[in-house]
Amino acid sequence: MLPAIVLKHKKEESLLRLHPWVFSGAIKALPHGLQEGDLVAVLANDGTPLGTGYYQIGSIAVRMLSFNEAETIDHDFWRTRLKAALALRESLGLQRVDNSAFRLVHGEGDRLPGLVIDCFDGVAVMQAHTVAMHRMRHELAEALADVLGDSLKAVFYKSEGTLPYKANTGAKDGYLYQCPEFDDTNVTATENGLRFRIDYAEGQKTGFFIDQRDNRALLRRYANGKRVLNLFGYTGGFSVYALQGGARLVHTVDSSARAIALAEENVGLNFPDTDRHEGIEADAFRFLQGGRTAEYDIVVLDPPAFAKHRDVLRQALRGYTRLNEAALRHMPAGSLLFTFSCSQAVSREQFRLAVFTAAARTGRHVRILHQLTQPADHPVSIYHPEGEYLKGLVLHVE
């Protein structure tokens, strides 16, 4: 029998609406000896069972795994959830000859809160954001092997940078599984027919930002004959798509020399003889000084998250405003700005207001052509709107 967490009076209402989080202020009593990451039964104040979750130190005290109290959290449970996640991706047509990169598990969107799994040509990169998922990593790897079968080449666990900093978990990044013939010296994946080197061991997040796949394809539609600036370019995803779309020149700017080297490698994988691309190691804000955007027809702003929690939200919104103002002020008439926020703490409305403020300060006439979000393999549970984290706008500047 699992230890039970009892809620205060009427605090079960969000769970009855299938929201998967229990906040610490809603809890009446914690069982003695409860450890972070333990599975728990969640009970209403009158003792009514509400489901099973796991305990986490912090404001979000419980993340629900099941709203069926009779469901056992075991190997069959993980396998069933992973099979459902895979079935969705198969229905989306993401496993194709020309596409081997996709997100298999997107946390609450796949009813596996605290877990992310990205797949790159048979390599599953697993990222735990909670202690419970860290503790379950070996069981999850076994379930992955069952579900993916012969297509699975390796499971790489990468969570040192995502687990709660106070958690004494002893987490180490590394392989949980490798098939005998697997060679990890040069892992590449294909996205919409384009090849990318995946540095999951040393790169940011899981090694490649799959969430911009559809937005990169949109940029490709507009790129023909254009001069494109890709700020915060990282692995050069937007740059490669722009080149495929026929861009006249593409400049990839990132403050990391490693990122620039990887972007240039990805350009070379797809366009080995091109002279249309240049990687520039520079701070994006400094690069924008002096009106540099006047040299480009399309500018892409895809910065890292400015706000990882609400305590810095106001500062983050000022950052988005300052960045977009610096880009918009000198862009040529008729140019396009692709601008994004990947901060979960920033709402769609707040981001749009920050960009509106930037445009208003420049006095330019700006129109919204597209409102962008994350792709379908990053699904958002209708009961958990917080899962919608990526916001984007395509702006026409006159």
Domain boundaries, the chain: 4-66, 75-189, 209-397
CA quadruple 141, 142, 147, 151: dihedral positive or negative?
Answer: positive
- The CB density around residue 276, as the number of other CB atoms within 10 Å, is 17
Which of 3.40.50.300, 3.30.750.80, 2.40.30.170, 3.10.310.10 would CATH assign to domain 75-189?
3.30.750.80
Confidence of residue 168 (pLDDT cuts 50, 70, 90): low
Candidates 397, 322, 337; CA nearest to 372 is 337
Tell me what pLDDT residue 306 has: 81
* Alpha carbons 300 and 284: distance in angstroms, whole number: 11
Catalytic residue positions, numbered: 342
Find how far residue 393's CA is from the centre of its chain. 17
What architecture is the 209-397 domain classified under in CATH? 3-Layer(aba) Sandwich (3.40)
| Residue 295 near residue 288, CB atoms below 8 Å | no
**Biggest CA-to-CA distance, the chain:** 70
What homologous superfamily does CATH list for 4-66? PUA domain (2.30.130.10)
200-216: per-residue pLDDT in tens?
A: 998 888 999 999 999 99
Confidence of residue 270 (pLDDT cuts 50, 70, 90): very high
Averaged pLDDT for residues 342-358: 94
- Is 75-189 in the same CATH topology as 4-66? no
Asked whether residue 183 carries a pLDDT value surpassing 70, the answer given is: yes
Tell me what pLDDT residue 196 has: 97
23-51: per-residue pLDDT in tens?
A: 999 999 899 999 999 999 999 999 999 99
